[in-house]
Structure 1
Amino acid sequence: MTAANGRASTTGSGSAGRTAADAGTTRGRAADGAPAGRGPVDDTVAAVVRQWQAVHPHIDTAPMEIIGRINRCAALLQQAEDAPLRRAGLTRPEFDVLGALRRTGHELTPGEIARETFSSGAAVTKRLKQLSERGLIERHGDTRDRRVAHVHLTDAGRDLIDRIQPEQLSYERIALSGLDGDGQQDLAALLGELLIQLEGRLGAPRG
């Protein structure tokens, strides 16, 4: 994320199958671009936008209003979601490795883990070493190619990820509770459309 520290950037259950276009037409917008029936949004990003508009009255702040809010929401959500990970002694990247092994349901090579977690090979090697030392994963060589390693969860690793994942979902459910079912679907559709466009142009980030 551009503003991983949570600061706004200072640079320029409804029916299934709804699309991003449906979201825009269904909810409607007022003439000034705000959602129909709603007043101006007054959040931390709005304050930043007003300050920039005061300095540069003719600047187009529309991108800042979107990207700044996405960055701020991402930082707040990750801060909340990382709480159960810290209690378990895991970092977010380590949790992602365990999650990839659990959700795919089979052994993975380090290269496959790197692709599943949008990480570099060097970063995955370090995380696998740490998880192996804790007894959460095991590695073994390929019988046909000794250069290839295969990674799988231990019982302890599976138990840990199965315990933490419901906590993560609970945090997410609470975080989204301010939006009704239709609002959540609309937001998911719009974010999905944006994600597809960004990944197509920029590629997936690796860390």
Structure 2
Amino acid sequence: MDSVDRLRAQWHEQVPGLDVAPIAVAGRITRIAALLAAQSEAALADEGLTRGEFDVLTALRRAGRALRASEVSTLTAASGAAITKRADALVRAGLVARGIPHRDRRGVLLELTEQGRAAVDRLMPEHLAREARVLEGLDADDAERLAQLLSRVLVRVEGGA
């Protein structure tokens, strides 16, 4: 029995007619995400980073080029204010550089420094290893099936359904 089973049992006890079936999936997704985020936060804190800052670094690394702050906001699903705050910290740490686009001087470009690129290249394998450990109880077919099912749910949520 996991924490979601206990939560559902408590609801059944307190409000017997309440249909808590969605919690079996959504509650587990939420709980797993929270626990993974906490593990990630703890590991990144040792590096002087927050998870949000790491998200900015990885978005820039995946893009392979400088990005407008608004693009980083879209890629990370963080507000413009959050991106500004994170970028400020990353610039101070020497991991990101700010620039001005040549054609449109109204925007701000964010670009990984060599130090930032090296940090992502060092930290990303550790991050993926943490996530892989969570899935060790699943064989490859189960992991793939779970990924497919979660993708279907994510598409609905991202589409606003």
- TM-score of the pair, normalised by structure 2: 0.94
Partner of 2:108: 149
Find 1:115's aligned residue among 74, 79, 82: 74
The question of 1:64 aligning with 2:23 is answered yes
CA distance in 1, matches of 2:16, 2:81: 46
Does residue 169 of structure 1 match 2:128? yes
Larger relative contact order (Cα-Cα within 8 Å, sequence gap ≥ 6): 1
Correspondence for 1:126: 85
Runs of 4+ in 1 over 6 A off after TM superposition: none
After superposition, what is the alpha-carbon deviation per residue over 1:55-109, rounded to whole angstroms, capped at 9, x for unaligned? 2222212112222111111111112222321111100110000001101101101
Corresponding letter in the other structure for 1:181: A
Identify the residue that residue 158 of structure 2 maps to in structure 1: 199
Alignment check: 8 A CA contact 1:84 1:164 kept: no
Once the two structures are TM-superposed, the CA of residue 122 in structure 1 deviates from its matched residue by 1.2
**Count of aligned positions:** 161
> Normalized per residue, which structure has more helix?
2
- Structure 1: gaps of 5 or more residues: 1-41, 203-207
Which whole-Å CA distance do the structure 2 matches of 1:149 and 1:60 have between them? 49
Coordinate RMSD, CA, aligned: 1.3
2:102 & 2:6 partners in 1: Cα distance?
A: 60
* One-letter amino acid matched to 2:40: E
- Which residues of 2 match residues 47-62 of structure 1 at below 5 A? 47-62=6-21
TM-score, normalised by the number of residues in structure 1: 0.74
Match in the other structure for 2:60: 101
Rg larger in 1 or in 2? 1
Q: Distance in 2 between matches of 1:177 and 1:101?
A: 29
Task: Give the letter for the 2:76 counterpart.
Answer: T
CA contact (8 A) 1:97 1:117 kept: yes
Matches of 2:148 and 2:105 in 1, distance apart? 44
1:159-201 residue CA offsets vs partner (Å, 9 max, x unmatched): 1111000000111111110111111111111110000001111
| Alignment pair present for 1:178 and 2:137 | yes
Percent identity over paired residues: 45
